[in-house]
A and B are shown apart, each in its own frame.
Chain A
Amino acid sequence: MVPLTWYLLLAAILFGIGLVGVIVKRNALIVMMCVELMLNAANLTFLAFSRAKGAVGGNATAFFIIAVAAAEAAVGLAIIIAIFRIRGSVNMDDVRALGEKADAVEP
């Protein structure tokens, strides 16, 4: 039997990789992919605890997380397309019209 801790550790590693990607990468598409990684890590934690407690409720919650992630991907990618259309770039550093006026890149 694989102990619960290993699943949780795997989820933590997955979450950490996603978090590093969100912080370090500047390509908006890859940042979105890393957000998906983090959501999957949360899913894995829910399923691990669901299995450890023998409660099906965790499975239902993971189901909702998948639905939310699908919605998030659809809207997020639409926003990226809109930004690309306006600014011609998917670099996150180019999109700072709402703040950091000092070195803002105007379109």
Chain B
Amino acid sequence: MTITAELVTFFVFAIPLVMTAVGVVTARSPMYAAMNLVGTFFCLAGIYVLLSAHLLAFMQILVYAGAVMVLFLFVIMLLSLGGEAQEVEKLKAMQLLGGLSAVALVALIATSFREVAETPMAAVQPDFGTVKAVGRVLFTQYLLPFEATSLLLLVAIVGAVVVAKEKI
């Protein structure tokens, strides 16, 4: 395999992606975990651009690194969990077993890739993954799920207010 710019870019984003994702799990304080998660989202956006999903890369930064992470940080600040480092959690045997089986699951998934290994990347139109191309599909073929999403977000807003508010 020849080293191409695409290959280099893949690893430039993939290696920090895995490192920051591990950082989310290993961080002592929720604040550090949240900061690692922001890094994960940004690296993932870079991978999305490599897959020529430009709209989704933009949405990833806008929605995840923007909105969702601000929500997380607000809650961490609100519950004032950021300051003190959490006490070291001692692993129970069940948790250890669960973690090991998760690793085994990844190995199982990796071995199942042999069947798709020969699939070559299709040649795509230059406008693949742009706002225009994805928007056309969203508003024709996926119109009903798209409208259902708006209902879902409305329900989420109302639900979040009802659950979190002390007295209505």
Contacts and interface: CB of A to CB of B under 8 A. Distances in A.
A29 B81 contact: yes
Contact of A14 (B21, B79, B133, B153): B21
Interface string B3-29: 010110010001001100110110100
A60 B113 CA distance: 24
Contacts, number: 228
A71 B89 contact: no
B99 A20 contact: yes
Interface of B: 4, 6-7, 10, 14, 17-18, 21-22, 24-25, 27, 30, 33-34, 37, 40-41, 44, 47-48, 50-53, 55-56, 59-60, 63-64, 67-68, 71-72, 75-76, 78-79, 81, 86, 89, 91, 95-96, 98-99, 102-103, 105-106, 109-110, 113, 116-117, 119-125, 128-129, 133-134, 136-138, 141-142, 145-146, 149, 152-153, 155-157, 159-161, 163-164, 166
| Prevailing SS type, chain B contact patch | helix
B50 A2 contact: yes
Nearest to B164: A78
Contact of A79 (B67, B102, B155, B163): B163
B156 A47 contact: no
A4 B81 CA distance: 40
Given A14-B17, A25-B89, A60-B137, A48 B102 contact: no
A57 B128 CA distance: 11
A70 B14 contact: no
A12 B44 CA distance: 13
Nearest to A16: B106
A50 B53 contact: yes
Interface string A26-53: 1101101110110010011001101111
Contacts of B4: 1
